[in-house]
Structure 1
Amino acid sequence: MRIMQAYRFALDLTPAQEAVLSTGELEPNPRYLDAATRRIRALARCASRRVGPDRRTGRRGSKRWQRASAQLGRAHARVANRRRDGLHKLTTRLAREYGTVVVEDLNVSGMLANRRLARHIADPGFAELRRQLAYKTSWNGGRLVVANRWYPSSKTCSACGAVKTKLALSERTYTCTTCGLTLDRDLNAARNLATLAAEASTAGSGPVAGRGADRKTRQGGPVAVKRQPGIASASKTGTVPPQGGTSDHMLRKAS
């Protein structure tokens, strides 16, 4: 097993959208939907010009409409299958090579409200990525740590720990005004998540300061408090016992 690393799927909405590991390794995003957009639009226009079904009169779609609709459905299915295949290959490699994997609890539904970025945010499949990592890390005897939604991974300097009050999405390079660190925004965030994983692994040996930020969710509602690393929501994050062998070995011991 290699040294524990943290993994962060970088939300880079530029043409260089990619996944960034704390080691500096970059995993490019294939952007399957964008690659197939031109063909999907052409097939959709072709189907719209055919005589389709009419529920009011009970008319069935013409043969040409049925063929065009079938072609459009196959194009969408191919995008979904390619995305699923790419996610399986990526998550399998990460779960096998790393003992601890860290992801962020992103508010994807809120991010999709931006109509200019919704398609780019929905294309990588964040929920499916996290779901696959949850059970694959368990299979390989590792663990999945989910960073708090309000943990400022992008705003925090990975060298000195200073936190910026604001960081625009267009700022792709992180520059610390305290220590002068200049680093790629996503790589800086991945290193912060690696530090969070290290704190979570040593939480049982002594007190560790909570990370994250208090935030009121609604008027008069509950307040999200700082979470101590290594505890809370362990069952929800797919965390498993520390590595003591492969998953098959643990199953044999349990039997």
Structure 2
Amino acid sequence: MSNDVQIDNMTFTFPDQRHSPVLSNVSMCVKKGEFVSLIGSSGSGKSTLFKLLAGLLEPTDGTIEIAGVPPGQRLGRVAYMPQKDLLLSWRTVMENCLLPSELAPRKQDKVKLRADIMAGLDRFGLSGYEHAYPDELSGGMKQRVALLRTLLTGGQLMLLDEPFGALDAMTKREMHRWLLELWESLGKTVLFITHDIEEALLLSDRIVLLTPGGRQLLDITVPLPRPRHSDMVYDPDLIQMRQRLEEQLHAKL
């Protein structure tokens, strides 16, 4: 299995904060088709790492390589979903999903694109909502629209920054089930930011810990079998792993 993401000795510092790096000598490889979660306290550089991977920022030192993406051309080629859904309230679901194509450098076949969006809405359980506005949707439905829009940017790599952080527990559990089914069927590579250790264990192949100052301290393989399902949060093995990981986190921070 080839690497989809390769980060080597990467450091990032804002120009006006040269003595306080946000990320410091981070190295990471993510295999094609892996689901890897990043956890860590606020200020550990998780969202900044995503902005670097998406091409919104460039490293101060070190390198980022993403399979199939020419060096320095990550912007617009990586599917990136930030913390908030960022759906435009004055645009319908269809119009929001069309946004990536409007911003893309190359024009796309609009008839085919609309057909692809309709097929995606059906797959995401949103059939019949193409003319609805965001304020007519539930929180879980908004997140599904945002994720569909993210998928439409194309590319093998998906960056999901706490996509379910604002959802209630029952909706979050349903979204976990739905995301796992989607990931398993599409074979995408996913990097996922969360503060929820249980969520990270349920979804991930591996968990990477970042600490304040952007240092990478742990890279843990999750030995749970797949396919996964939400009832596994009650499994004694997962509970034991969560307790062990919480102890490791407290020891490292």
Smaller-chain TM-score bracket: under 0.3
Higher relative contact order (CA 8 A, sep 6+): 2
Judging by fraction of residues, say which structure has more strand.
2
Compare CA radii of gyration and give the structure with the larger one: 1
TM-score normalised to structure 2 length: 0.23
